Amino acid sequence: MLEQARTELLTLRDLLRFAVSRFNEAELFFGHGSDNAWDEAAYLLLHTLHLPLDRLEPFLDARLTEAERNTVLHLIERRVKTRVPAAYLTHEAWLGEHRFYVDERVIVPRSFIAELLEEQLTPWIDDPWAVTRVADICTGSGCLAILAALAFPEAEVDAVDISPDALEVAKRNVADYGLEDRLELVHSDLMAGLAGRKYDIIISNPPYVNAASMATLPEEYQREPELALAGGEDGLDLVRILLRQAREHLNPGSLLVVEIGHNRDDLEAAYPDTPFTWLDTEAGDQFVFMLRQEELPD
């Protein structure tokens, strides 16, 4: 098939059609930046050919060189045969307009909290310039910590993770954004290594996939670090620890913002007296909760 493709597929349009057919035929799973074969194929081709990611139409009928065709076809086959997420193939992921370096040491960034940070946590934060200390727990690639530093320009940000490998990836991203003077990388098991530190905002996108879901993850998700996904039997093991630790590290009236995926019902059943505020995002209002310091469970 590849030999025939090399000789018969000449234009970007040809290769895009071929990629979509191969992806659908292989029943790939999407969810690391795109949700369908067309979008993922278009992204991979544009990225590989060093074309603007938002300018497909002008190039559709452009013919590729033999070397370009071989490179594109190799990438298409690698995506199909290995089931490696596209972000690992290109070493980049996007949250809104912000690009981050990623590889297999971190999960591919995808967080509802990113949208909330773009809005500077409005209306829960009255004055973004008055925020002086932020922590991002389970920072992974550092993406949310970086977005927090951009959202709150006067804040010093601690990006915390238990994985030294993840912190190496975060270090690269922090350098890419020139934030070394305001963003500190901290090796810690959740907040255990933050003794004496207080914050105006603590954000976290911790591992929250429950055991049943971990057992049935698509192959693409199995390529990500299990440490960054598995949240225990009900998905809330780390969330419970965060709720215990946060009071000590938040200033009075300050915010804890945590993403928990589809675990809202289990969380509210476990903490029936805790007044969780569920924050609205484009994807829905059940994925991220907020608590002020005084609302945290005892």
CA dist 138 and 157 (Å) reads 13
Is residue 144 scored above 90 in pLDDT? Answer: yes
Q: Which domain-ending residue is among 90, 116, 134?
A: 90
Pairing of strands 133-137, 199-204: parallel
Same domain as 34, residue 124: no
Q: Based on the number of CB atoms within 10 Å of its own CB, is 222 exposed (0-12), middle (13-18) or buried (19 or more)?
A: exposed
Same domain as 248, residue 194: yes
Same domain as 192, residue 120: yes
Same domain as 125, residue 81: no
Give the CATH number of the domain where residue 12 resides: 1.10.8
Spatial CA neighbour of 294 closest among 270, 274, 279: 274
How many structural domains are present in the chain? 2
pLDDT given at position 33: 85
- Token digits of residue 279: 């924050």
Whose tokens are 């809202």? That residue is 264
Same domain as 137, residue 241: yes
Is residue 82 scored above 90 in pLDDT? Answer: yes
Q: Give pLDDT tens digits for 20-75.
A: 999 999 999 998 888 999 999 999 999 999 999 999 999 999 999 999 999 999 99
Same domain as 247, residue 181: yes
- Token digits of residue 188: 């810690």
Give the CATH number of the domain where residue 192 resides: 3.40.50.150
- Token digits of residue 267: 């969380």
Give domain status of residue 98, yes or no: no
Instruction: For residue 102, give Cα distances in angstroms to 14, 48, 143, 224.
Output: 29, 16, 10, 11
Cis check: omega of the bond before 252, within 30 degrees of 0: no
Is residue 7 scored above 80 in pLDDT? Answer: no
- Token digits of residue 90: 């290109």
Give domain status of residue 100, yes or no: no
Give domain status of residue 96, yes or no: no
Is residue 1 scored above 70 in pLDDT? Answer: no
CA dist 156 and 272 (Å) reads 34
When pLDDT is cut at 50, 70 and 90, the band that residue 151 belongs to is: very high
Q: Which domain-ending residue is among 90, 122, 147?
A: 90
Is residue 244 scored above 70 in pLDDT? Answer: yes
Ranges assigned E (strand) in 117-227: 133-137, 156-161, 183-187, 199-204
pLDDT given at position 3: 67
Same domain as 25, residue 131: no
Containing structural domain, residue 211: 105-295
Confirm whether pTM is higher than 0.75.
Answer: yes
Which amino acid does the sequence have at 46?
Answer: L
Q: Are 232 and 168 in contact (CB under 8 A)?
A: no
Same domain as 253, residue 181: yes
Residue 253 Rama label (left phi>0; alpha psi -120 to 50; beta)? left
CA dist 227 and 222 (Å) reads 11
When pLDDT is cut at 50, 70 and 90, the band that residue 10 belongs to is: confident
Same domain as 85, residue 19: yes
Q: Which domain-ending residue is among 90, 113, 146?
A: 90
Same domain as 151, residue 198: yes
Same domain as 159, residue 131: yes
Same domain as 127, residue 240: yes
- In percent, the amount of the chain with pLDDT more than 70 equals 98
